[in-house]
Amino acid sequence: MKKPILVANWKNHPESLRAVTPILTGLSRKSAVYKKLSTFIAPPLVYIEAVSSKIKSFAGLAGQDIFFAMEGTYTGAVTPDILKSFGVKLTIIGHSERRALGETNEVAAAKVKTALRSGITPLLCIGEEARDAEGNYFEFLSEELKLSLEGIRRKDDAHKLIIAYEPIWAIGKKAKDAMPPADLAQMVIFIKKVLTEIFGRESAERIPILYGGSVESGNANELVATGVQGFLVGHASLDPKNFSEIAEALL
């Protein structure tokens, strides 16, 4: 049985390098808990070196995004080899906040391929904007997942993927606004079904599905019991106490 996965998505926080230190100090107090999980921290890129030296013994370093090209000249870009040289092992791809800036499923698929080629684990995010009584979001999610994995069919690639289901309407709220556990359990089954259509049952079963969207210490326990193999945590990951309680819920 693989370890549960816990990924901290710091987004564009905290507001300065100085504010990173207390977070890292807080995290390291619970290093024993994080070591029992596959824990990753995805800080803003410019903080990566400061973070990596402090989390080495209990968490891996993750990117919040990956550039789609491996080589070439691109002003402003950070290519995968640079990320790798700083020890980045996993990267978030297709986060809804990037999709809102115009990132398409095609771009997400290119990034998944680039990550696989570079030996960085792709954590692909999918999630519907809203729920409707007709259940149109099922179709939306199926298409988003299939198109974001377009061209990836090899079993050994499939076995390196991680999917994060993050309904957009549940992101950045309070614990009470996260997805109800019964609905999440249904979505996990649905996502597995779509992955089975793409990769076949045996490979689909091996792909971890994480949940993200207002995971906090107050709801982590009930969300664990839905079949998810971990969490992608935004705002609560900047609060060491809250984050460590989420980690404990996964044990």
Stretch touching ligand PGA by CB under 6 A, among 62-70, 138-146, 148-156, 165-173: 165-173
Among 20, 83, 116, 232, binds ligand PGA (CB under 6 A): 232
Q: Are the CB atoms for 91 and 63 separated by under 8 Å?
A: yes
The pair of three-digit structure tokens given for residue 170, joined into one six-digit string: 């549940």
The pair of three-digit structure tokens given for residue 106, joined into one six-digit string: 């095609």
CA distance 214 to 182: 16
The pair of three-digit structure tokens given for residue 226, joined into one six-digit string: 């839905």
Residue 127 sits in the site that holds ligand PGA (CB under 6 A): no
Distance of closest approach, residue 146 Cβ to ligand PGA, in angstroms: 22
Catalytic annotation, pick one of 97, 128, 166, 245: 166
3-state percent helix, strand, coil for the chain, nearest multiple of 5: 50, 15, 35
Q: Are the CB atoms for 238 and 10 separated by under 8 Å?
A: yes
Nearer to ligand PGA, 13 or 146 (CB): 13
Query: Which residue's CB atom is positioned nearest to ligand PGA?
Result: 234
Q: What is the DSSP letter of 235?
A: G
Stretch touching ligand PGA by CB under 6 A, among 43-51, 64-72, 79-87, 230-238: 230-238
Among 233, 238, 247, 249, binds ligand PGA (CB under 6 A): 233
Nearer to ligand PGA, 9 or 226 (CB): 9
Residue 65 sits in the site that holds ligand PGA (CB under 6 A): no
Residue 213 sits in the site that holds ligand PGA (CB under 6 A): yes
Residue 9 sits in the site that holds ligand PGA (CB under 6 A): yes
Nearer to ligand PGA, 42 or 88 (CB): 42
CA distance readout (Å), 47 to 18, 43, 122, 204: 10, 6, 21, 35
Nearer to ligand PGA, 48 or 232 (CB): 232
The pair of three-digit structure tokens given for residue 42, joined into one six-digit string: 């995805």
Among 188, 234, 238, 244, binds ligand PGA (CB under 6 A): 234
Among 39, 114, 203, 214, binds ligand PGA (CB under 6 A): 214
Residue 200 sits in the site that holds ligand PGA (CB under 6 A): no
Q: Are the CB atoms for 152 and 158 separated by under 8 Å?
A: yes
State the CB neighbour count (10 A cutoff) for residue 155: 11
Q: Are the CB atoms for 68 and 114 separated by under 8 Å?
A: yes
CA distance readout (Å), 204 to 17, 87, 193, 200: 40, 28, 8, 6
166 is catalytic: yes
Residue 166 sits in the site that holds ligand PGA (CB under 6 A): yes
Q: Which residues are catalytic, by number?
A: 95, 166
* Residues contributing to the site for ligand PGA (CB under 6 A): 9, 166, 171-172, 212-215, 232-236
